Structure 1
Amino acid sequence: MTDDALTPEHAEEGGAAEDARLAGLYHSKKDRVFVRGIQGEYNLGAELARLRSMPRVRKASEIKFVDGPQAYSRHYVEPKDGISQLFHLHLEEYGPGGKSQKHGHVNEAAFYILDGVGYEVHDGIRYDWKAGDVAIVHNNCVHQHFNASAEKPARALVLKTKPMYLFMNMLFQKQVEPRQLEPTPEGVGFEAREEEDDFNHPEGGY
């Protein structure tokens, strides 16, 4: 069937399928939890007991990457988990030639580059990075993250203070360009590395 022959019913089905696809992406969710409610008696004893019962180690093997195919995220700590409302901690993996969404927010963020080479574009200015560097996103900055390699992935551990800022009603944030839904030509077939490698120690130890 050609596009010209699409009936309104087929068009609606295609639109519904696309809506479902978008709904499954973390950065397209319309029901994200940015700040949790805290309820209870004045001394908040039950809330404190709940907090102290939470896991002290989040296992990477229990948290899968989401989104893709150019930019993937593994969210270790966010408000919905019930652990912290001060920060959001996640791992970003960019496929070969991949990029993130273009966006801006009031809160600041720090990207510790674990491996790869790439660059940021902050308010139209380019900043290059490589493994071992830390990239800082300042408040109220429109920015985007890019993998500069056409052959290898890049990854960064991200710590951002979004929950704390939003708790104080500093709500302004906007997506300028969404995450790409198609891979780059060089990234066809790439999948995020679910298993962690020990990059800090040579094989066999020192």
Structure 2
Amino acid sequence: MAWSESGAWLAGTENAPLYADLLQDAADAPRRNAGRRKILKPSDMPWEMSRQGLLKHLINEDMNTRMETVDAYMQIIPAGSRSGKHRHLAEECLYVVEGRGYDLHQDCDVEITDTYHWKPQDEVKRFEWEAGDVIYVPPNTIHQHFNADPHRPARLISAINRIYKHSGLNDLEQIEDAPEYDPSVVLDAEKIRGYLRAG
């Protein structure tokens, strides 16, 4: 036989219908998607008291929607408070629904090999925002949102592409927790109203 590497590539006895599975997955997509929601009501959107702060999830991979690539949540920052501080490899954009405040962003030098290695740069940049603005968070930037109004809450809508996660690049690190974070808290409308009145 002319193929000199045949001794190596002919080895192995395992069989698997991997391509057939891909074809079946594609064929099943219309039926599968027909069972996924295109419309979500507020009651379908779960609250979370997270380390990043008070969140109402609008779209999430675990919510059985047709959205394949984007996760989005609404973040409520009580008067005079702040979000958690975190860093993730994916870029993010946030729309300021109401309120005014500022972000602190710290770029990082990153190296991706078998593991992630990142080092914060010295400079911390401040960006002011108000209702109607869009905040852009570059990839791998340490960031935190601050509500500058001592009397009124701020609301932000965050959108992030989950393709990073599916590409094995879900590098997410929480550096500081939001002041309101308490894993024992169960959120509902009345509890949220209490946070909105705070300050």
TM range (shorter): 0.5 to 0.7
Distance in structure 2 (CA, Å) of the matches to 1:116 and 1:168: 35
Quote the sequence identity (%): 25
Which residue of structure 1 aligns with residue 81 of structure 2? Answer: 98
Sort the Cα spacing of 1:90 and 1:193 in 2 relative to 1 into closer, same or farther, 3 A.
farther
Sort the Cα spacing of 1:93 and 1:81 in 2 relative to 1 into closer, same or farther, 3 A.
same
Which residue of structure 2 aligns with residue 168 of structure 1? Answer: 167
Instruction: Please state whether the residue corresponding to 1:42 is helix, strand or coil.
Output: helix
Superposition pairs for residues 135-146 of structure 1, below 5 Å? 135-146=135-146
Distance in structure 2 (CA, Å) of the matches to 1:54 and 1:69: 29
Which residue of structure 1 aligns with residue 97 of structure 2? Answer: 114
- Paired residue type of 1:132: G
- Paired residue type of 1:166: K
Distance in structure 1 (CA, Å) of the matches to 2:46 and 2:35: 23
**Unmatched runs of 5 consecutive residues or more in structure 2:** 1-20, 107-123, 183-189, 195-199
Distance in structure 1 (CA, Å) of the matches to 2:166 and 2:126: 31
Superposition pairs for residues 1-206 of structure 1, below 5 Å? 42-44=23-25, 45-67=27-49, 71-83=53-65, 84-123=67-106, 124-161=124-161, 163-181=162-180, 191-192=191-192
- Paired residue type of 1:145: H
Using CA pairs under 8 Å that are at least 6 residues apart, name the structure with larger relative contact order, 1 or 2.
2
- Paired residue type of 1:49: R
- Asked if the contact 2:82–2:146 (Cα under 8 Å) also holds between the matched residues in 1, the reply is yes
- Deviation >6 Å, runs of 4+: none
Distance in structure 1 (CA, Å) of the matches to 2:193 and 2:30: 36
Distance in structure 1 (CA, Å) of the matches to 2:96 and 2:138: 17
Cα offset for 1:180? 2.3
- Asked if the contact 2:101–2:130 (Cα under 8 Å) also holds between the matched residues in 1, the reply is yes
Cα offset for 1:173? 2.0
- Asked if the contact 2:52–2:177 (Cα under 8 Å) also holds between the matched residues in 1, the reply is no
| CA RMSD, 1 decimal | 2.6
Q: How many residues are paired up? A: 149
Instruction: Please state whether the residue corresponding to 1:165 is helix, strand or coil.
Output: helix
Higher strand share: 2
